Chains A and B, each alone.
Chain A
Amino acid sequence: MTLLTEKVRDIQAAVAAIPEGATIMVGGFGSPGTPFALLDALLESGQGGLTLIKNDANEPGIGIGKLIEAGRVTRLITSHLGLNRTAIEAMNAGRLEVSFHPQGLLAEKIRCAGAGHGGFLTDIGQGTEIAAGRREVEVDGRPWGIEPALHADVALVHAERADRYGNLIYRATASNFNPLMAMAAERVIAQAYRLDAPGELPIDAIHTPCAFVSQVVQVDRATSEQGVRPHGL
């Protein structure tokens, strides 16, 4: 784990250390919470053969849409791609392997990894094709499907505020998958609009304690692609 005193990094240095073929969690539900600056740095950095885990595929031309269009993504684990026609085309053409999970199960699989569990038991999807082939176990006389935890090498998350130690505060609906992913990956790289000295964040307002966070980069609000569209996905 990175020492508390060594977490603040230059954005290019932070993403340059991500290996080729890495499995990467990316925060965000649509645009809010998507770490756009980290994704742009990753695009520039050039790694390919990536497996991405994100709720959605953003939209064509922004966020992970850019990485998919540049052919850097081999596999995407997601809940839906409805607003990214180029991602759907890549899937249909066989250029992008896509695994779909119901949104709440995806969140919980990530949460489980972050909590140090191997998985959880659920009845979601029983009687539908989502549960086909899923292992079951009987507990208290009821059948439950086994959902394994979902791990990653790296998580890229977006926070409103951070401090140098890596404590994070999210804002409004930009929270979504970020606090879950910030606990679930081996290396967690957080971008934040505001980077404070330790002690500046109200201690009872911190969403992700710094122990989970490996690196922090400060990004300019103005460079965010969020808000350039008429809607927020």
Chain B
Amino acid sequence: MASDTQRILARAAREVIPGQIVNLGIGLPTRLFHYLPDEMEVLVHSENGVLGCRPRREGEAPDHDMIDSGGAYITTRPGASVFDSATSFAMIRRSRVDLTFMGAFEVDAAGNLANWKIPGKFSPGIGGAMELAQKVRRLVVLCSHNDKHGNPKILARCRLPLTARSCVSRIITDKAVMDVTPEGLAVVDIAEGLDPADLQAATEAALIIDESRLGRF
């Protein structure tokens, strides 16, 4: 039986199209690395200044000048390049990165994202999240559907300070895959065995659910 995070990651890997430039946010999204097959021609961008990184293979010695933005010692695949931070963020701001995956504290029906600050509790700074969220062509949020106390993270409207407005295209949680549409959050896939009414009950935002078209994952 796959864990919730494995199911989220396996589902998220299906979002990646061969030929794309993809950024993997810190935390859960970084683990997507291991779901992208070597032969897939995708260049993974890391904002510290590398395009075309991949995890080290077992036994491969670390190069101490070669990290990703999460600090893991990585290596590169054919077609890779390295560059400075200004070039790296120019790539992001010019929307030359096709797809990014990010975690979330909160995400809402309008596609607003909050993932950097909990006032009074957690404020280590924003890093590169704001530019990635605002400018990458397609932002897919990967997160648990509810926090550890069971409170919904998929809200009618975010309450925490925003990372960026109207930036999210799709949300993948352990319970559902949802698209941000002008009408609201439309459920694309629902977790195997989960009742649509229970999904709605676990979600603050109103969900658009067409049971005749619902996929399972």
List A contacts of B64 (CB < 8 A).
Answer: 31-32, 224, 226-227, 232
**A81 & B125 in contact (Cβ 8 Å cutoff):** yes
| CA of A231 to CA of B89, assembled, Å | 23
**A232 & B72 in contact (Cβ 8 Å cutoff):** yes
Instruction: Judge whether B55 is part of the interface by a CB distance below 8 angstroms.
Output: no
**B89 & A104 in contact (Cβ 8 Å cutoff):** yes
Shortest Cβ gap from B122 to chain A (Å): 9
**B82 & A172 in contact (Cβ 8 Å cutoff):** yes
Residue of A nearest to B72 (CB): A231
What are 8 A-B residue pairs whose CB atoms fall within 8 Å in the complex?
A30-B71, A80-B125, A98-B125, A103-B127, A104-B85, A175-B82, A176-B48, A180-B86
Instruction: Judge whether A179 is part of the interface by a CB distance below 8 angstroms.
Output: yes
List B contacts of A33 (CB < 8 A).
Answer: 65
| CA of A103 to CA of B49, assembled, Å | 12
| CA of A103 to CA of B130, assembled, Å | 8
**B126 & A103 in contact (Cβ 8 Å cutoff):** yes
Contact of B65 among A78, A128, A172 (CB under 8 A): A172
Residue of B nearest to A83 (CB): B71
Residue of A nearest to B71 (CB): A233
List A contacts of B93 (CB < 8 A).
Answer: 104, 124
**A232 & B85 in contact (Cβ 8 Å cutoff):** no
| CA of A42 to CA of B85, assembled, Å | 25
| CA of A232 to CA of B67, assembled, Å | 6
Instruction: Judge whether A79 is part of the interface by a CB distance below 8 angstroms.
Output: yes
Instruction: Judge whether A130 is part of the interface by a CB distance below 8 angstroms.
Output: yes
| CA of A32 to CA of B126, assembled, Å | 20
**B49 & A29 in contact (Cβ 8 Å cutoff):** yes
**A81 & B126 in contact (Cβ 8 Å cutoff):** no
Shortest Cβ gap from A83 to chain B (Å): 7
Given A124-B93, A180-B85, answer yes or no on A174-B126 (Cβ-Cβ < 8 Å). Answer: no
Using a Cβ–Cβ cut-off of 8 Å, how many residues does chain A contribute to the interface with B?
A: 51
Q: 1/0 contact trace for B122-151 toward A, CB 8 Å?
A: 011111111100110000000000000000
Instruction: Judge whether A111 is part of the interface by a CB distance below 8 angstroms.
Output: yes
Residue of A nearest to B63 (CB): A172
**A231 & B71 in contact (Cβ 8 Å cutoff):** yes
Which of B9-17, B35-43, B156-164, B202-210 touches A? B156-164
Instruction: Judge whether B215 is part of the interface by a CB distance below 8 angstroms.
Output: no
Q: 1/0 contact trace for A74-118 toward B, CB 8 Å?
A: 000011111100001000000000101111110110110000000
Given contacts A30-B71, A102-B128, A172-B63, 11 further A-B contacts (CB under 8 A): A32-B65, A82-B127, A103-B127, A103-B128, A104-B47, A107-B89, A110-B86, A128-B130, A130-B130, A172-B82, A227-B62
Residue among B71, B85, B128, B165 with most chain A CB within 10 A = B85
A-B contact count (CB 8 A): 146
Instruction: Judge whether A125 is part of the interface by a CB distance below 8 angstroms.
Output: yes
Contact of A232 among B73, B82, B131, B135 (CB under 8 A): B73
B residues apposed to A, CB below 8 Å: 46-50, 62-67, 69-73, 82-86, 88-90, 92-93, 123-131, 134-135, 161-165
**A175 & B49 in contact (Cβ 8 Å cutoff):** yes
**B163 & A128 in contact (Cβ 8 Å cutoff):** yes
**B85 & A125 in contact (Cβ 8 Å cutoff):** no
| CA of A35 to CA of B94, assembled, Å | 31
Instruction: Judge whether A55 is part of the interface by a CB distance below 8 angstroms.
Output: yes
The 8 tightest CB contacts between A and B, nearest first, are A104-B89, A80-B125, A233-B71, A232-B67, A227-B64, A172-B65, A107-B85, A103-B128
Which residues in window 165-190 of A have CB below 8 A to B?
170-180
Given A29-B85, A127-B162, A176-B84, answer yes or no on A231-B67 (Cβ-Cβ < 8 Å). Answer: yes
Instruction: Judge whether A129 is part of the interface by a CB distance below 8 angstroms.
Output: yes
Residue of A nearest to B134 (CB): A124
List B contacts of A176 (CB < 8 A).
Answer: 48-49, 84-85
Shortest Cβ gap from A104 to chain B (Å): 3
List A contacts of B88 (CB < 8 A).
Answer: 104, 107
List A contacts of B89 (CB < 8 A).
Answer: 103-104, 107-108
**B47 & A103 in contact (Cβ 8 Å cutoff):** yes
List B contacts of A127 (CB < 8 A).
Answer: 162, 164-165
**B128 & A177 in contact (Cβ 8 Å cutoff):** no
**A173 & B65 in contact (Cβ 8 Å cutoff):** yes
